[in-house]
Amino acid sequence: MKKHWPILVVDDEEVMCESMAAWLREDGYHVDTASNGQKAVEQARATDYAICFVDLKMPGGMDGIETMMEIHRVRPEASIIIITAYATVDTAIQAMKEGAQEYIVKPCNPQEISMLVSRILKLKKLQSENAILRKKLTRQYKHHDIITKNPRMQEILELTQDIASLRSTVLIRGESGTGKELVARAVHFSGNRAEKPFIAVSCAALTETLLESELFGYEKGAFTGAAGQAKGKFELADAGTIFLDEIGDISPKLQADLLRVLQERRFYRVGGTQEVEVDVRIIAATNKNLAEEVQQGRFREDLYYRLNVIEIKLPPLRERREDIPLLAEHFVQRISSELGKDMSGISAEALKVLIAYDWPGNVRELENVIERAIVTCRNGSLEGADFSWLQSSGGHSKNWEVPDVPLGELERRAIVAALERKHGNVKEASTALGIDRSTLYDKLKRYEISH
């Protein structure tokens, strides 16, 4: 993930700036240079630098310490390393007191600087992982966690903001994996209930009796094993939001119980005689067409109208293909960071494959596909070949089929494949192909592999 930690080198001497930048680029970092303090501060405004190397002595204009303080004002998180000569070490120590993370005396040993950079970035990586984990732990996703430039989705996001602080029931419809729970969380965490609990229940996962006690709680002795009183999800969500996923799958009895809660905001615990009153906002979701379920007599009409006060219909991913590149880049960045794999991104060719695919499992499927590709990928970026199995998963014959291409193209592919198998060693690839280096070389030329 080195690309994600940009570095700035600030020095009035061009040779110093450029040679240092070139050395760091060989390590895979994105490096910018600035020839004076003022330019450095301007650049820091535009780019979130992880590390800034700042020369202590810069004649005319801002000196190193002033530059450091200004950069800190713009980018408090940036680590500043002061570069100094032997004669000015005392001032460098002063710079440390003013907030520099480190100082180095030039010229220094390559090992020293390499270790210093990796130590600082290791710390930064930990800090950023910590922030991600903390966010995951609280799972307080807001609407800006939904990544989209699709006009329909943007309208939906605006709607979530408008309805966030109301108590009205919301019904979210959409195919599996379209992000129904994410939208429900966005509604909850954008409104005035954000500090209160958000409780999610999957109605399809439990049997009728289990779901009943799960939702409403139970009294001691209500059934075998009910050793004490237990609060249900409705009580736990008091003052907050309950998210009832797969609402189309609940039994007629539970539909009746739920209707009562929606009407009166009161219920009995299983085996209880005392009513419990709650202030809960209900957000329900389904991948079924509830209106049709009503017509078929499988879902209560009165409950449907109670639930369907505000309806949000999420489009499937195939109807918002413009979001696929954005989502893919986001997942690559997040998953590679979680898995600790150094990925630079995803190629244009790979994106083409992803955009062309129909995604029956929607965004969740895309996320899983990218995770699988990152786990199995051997390069620093995801290429079209990492997703080739997506196209071939349609139950085609597993036998090798000769592609319908000219013979020359077959030979070209065989050469590239041999080079790949031999990890780029031209001599070994020519042996494997049964030709000598000069023949291979001629063929590479003919097929424009080397042009």
Q: Work out how close the CB of 29 gets to other proteins at its nearest, in angstroms, rounded to a whole number.
A: 9
In this structure, the strands spanning 79-84 and 275-277 are unpaired
Q: Work out how close the CB of 379 gets to other proteins at its nearest, in angstroms, rounded to a whole number.
A: 6
CA distance 200 to 306: 19
Binding window for other proteins (CB under 8 A); candidates: 228-236, 279-287, 300-308, 443-451: 443-451
Please identify which residue in the block is written with the tokens 């413009």: 322
CA distance 61 to 389: 59
Q: Work out how close the CB of 129 gets to other proteins at its nearest, in angstroms, rounded to a whole number.
A: 18
Instruction: Check binding of 445 to other proteins (CB under 8 A).
Output: yes
Beta strands in 336-385 (DSSP E): 345-346, 381-382
Instruction: Check binding of 20 to other proteins (CB under 8 A).
Output: yes
Binding mask 245-284 for other proteins (x = CB under 8 A): ----------------------------------------
Instruction: Check binding of 16 to other proteins (CB under 8 A).
Output: yes
- DSSP code of 78? P
| Binding test (CB under 8 A) with other proteins, winner from 195, 225, 227, 378 | 378
Closer of 104 and 182 to other proteins (Cβ): 104
CA distance 348 to 6: 23
| Binding test (CB under 8 A) with other proteins, winner from 22, 89, 123, 375 | 22
Residue 22 φ then ψ, to 5°: -60, -40
Instruction: Check binding of 25 to other proteins (CB under 8 A).
Output: yes
Residue 320's alpha-carbon distances to 51, 160, 220, 314, 365, in angstroms, are 38, 19, 50, 10, 15
Closer of 17 and 303 to other proteins (Cβ): 17
Total residues interacting with other proteins, rule: CB under 8 A: 45
Residues 6+ away with beta carbon under 8 Å from 231: 217
Instruction: Check binding of 13 to other proteins (CB under 8 A).
Output: yes
CA distance 401 to 382: 25
End-to-end CA distance of the chain: 31
- Alpha helix stretches (DSSP H) within 191-288: 208-216, 233-236, 252-264
Q: Work out how close the CB of 325 gets to other proteins at its nearest, in angstroms, rounded to a whole number.
A: 20
Q: Work out how close the CB of 338 gets to other proteins at its nearest, in angstroms, rounded to a whole number.
A: 18
Instruction: Check binding of 54 to other proteins (CB under 8 A).
Output: no
Closer of 111 and 207 to other proteins (Cβ): 111
Closest Cα partner for 229 from 268, 259, 264? 268
Binding site for other proteins (CB under 8 A): 2, 13, 15-16, 18-20, 22-23, 25-28, 83, 106-111, 113-114, 342, 378-380, 383, 416, 419-420, 422-427, 437, 440-441, 444-445, 448-451
